[in-house]
Chain A
């Protein structure tokens, strides 16, 4: 069992999830409650990674954010190295790749809140940030959990982007899925089996959690 790869994969998933939940909440609120005409466009962009082959995303990150473009050069100068072959590069890839898994459950949850509740809060004098913290957030707790679990699990399984961008550096970009791929390519099927089972078990448990939580909903008032 490649412990390095395991730890790296976990770090990547954890960091991605934390950042996406923080960024996703205001974005979801804007999508759910905003008035701007740009919303459908942003919604489509957010959903894009769902249908985009991960290799395409990886490719664009490699090329468009690589040292041959102006943007890429800025990034290279800022980071001190190109985006590729680094944990940062993977992180950015993951953030984009898992974005819809974080944002969409949040948007659904927010839209499921009866508007009268937020309106009542407003007429009682609560400014929008207070409404968000005291009314919206408590009521979307199940969605937050779903978003978190899905994002985490999805990132754990990420392969295409990492393959395109990672460079397979142990400890930095050699995630579990890459390790699995390597093990197969090395004809080390015993190890490959172990890694695959681990990934499978993990995904299954996560999905179980999500659905178990959803089932619980009917008994609680939130």
Chain B
């Protein structure tokens, strides 16, 4: 009897699951709700474990470039073209050009109970406005887009003194979520995520007011999981994911 049990203990490596591949992803802050939603689906399907670090694009790129080959990530999913392009320029990407995977949308968000309900873009002109949070335009694509939109709508000077610059678009949302800022210009991905949806409302900025946000990704050349990385990106670009992007606040790349 005991012998049988011991034998059983030796068997698992044969019949059990193989150890999942670990894929390290550097992701722009606006992707947090998206990857948290689709990530588990992929993990189960492909037997891959996704390790995601969210931060402002510029910070991630800084880390990737300083680390050089053998750095801490396998994939960088950015929120625009500019930052992943820097990785290509530093000769660290395994493609000659960043891979577009989705399009982003810029929104204005406010908390339920803020003085700007029901929300309209004209709230930005209000003299009652104390703080407007945006992601830092130098470090985050959505921050840059926010400044573009404000310029296009000729609101730049009006809001200049009320501007609060957050580290990344997630933190910009957080400032408004906690009520410290009355308004925030953030990504639609954040605005439609459960937390933000429940506690506030948003309006879109006219697409003509900012350069379209094409979110692109690169796979790191030195990564040991390049195949797995490309498999993941391909899945993200497949019909399993792209049609569902609008629910998550993005639009399909095609």
Contact = CB atoms under 8 A, between A and B. Distances in A.
A102 to B, nearest CB: 27
Given A185-B56, A185-B59, A85 B164 contact: yes
A82 B166 CA distance: 16
Interface string B135-168: 0101100000000000000000000000111110
Question: How extensive is the interface on chain A, given as a class?
Answer: 20 to 34
B138 A186 contact: yes
A47 B210 CA distance: 49
Contacts of A168: 136, 164-167
B164 A169 contact: yes
Contacts of A63: 178
A84 B180 contact: yes
B93 interface: no
Contacts, number: 66
Contact of B62 (A72, A83, A85, A185): A185
A68 B59 CA distance: 30
Interface in A60-75: 62-63, 66-68, 72
Interface in A66-103: 66-68, 72, 81-85
A82 B182 CA distance: 10
B58 interface: yes
A158 B37 CA distance: 35
Given A185-B56, A185-B62, A185-B138, A66 B179 contact: yes
Contacts of B165: 167-169
B216 to A, nearest CB: 18
A125 B41 CA distance: 78
A144 interface: no
Nearest to A62: B178
A184 interface: yes
Nearest to A83: B180
Given A167-B175, A168-B164, A186-B58, A85 B181 contact: yes
A163 B166 CA distance: 8
B119 interface: no
Nearest to A165: B180
Contacts of B133: 167
Contact of B180 (A82, A184, A187): A82
A68 B58 contact: no
A72 B59 CA distance: 31
Contact of A68 (B56, B86, B167, B178): B178
Nearest to A174: B165
Given A167-B131, A185-B56, A66 B178 contact: yes
A167 B166 contact: yes
A4 interface: no
A185 B131 CA distance: 24
A31 to B, nearest CB: 34
Interface in A124-167: 163, 167
A182 B138 contact: yes
18 contacts: A62-B178, A62-B180, A72-B179, A81-B131, A83-B180, A84-B131, A84-B175, A84-B181, A85-B164, A167-B133, A168-B165, A168-B167, A169-B164, A184-B59, A185-B58, A185-B136, A185-B139, A186-B139
Interface of B: 56, 58-59, 62, 86, 130-131, 133, 136, 138-139, 163-167, 174-175, 178-181
The 5 closest A-B pairs by CB, nearest first: A167-B164, A67-B179, A84-B180, A168-B165, A185-B58
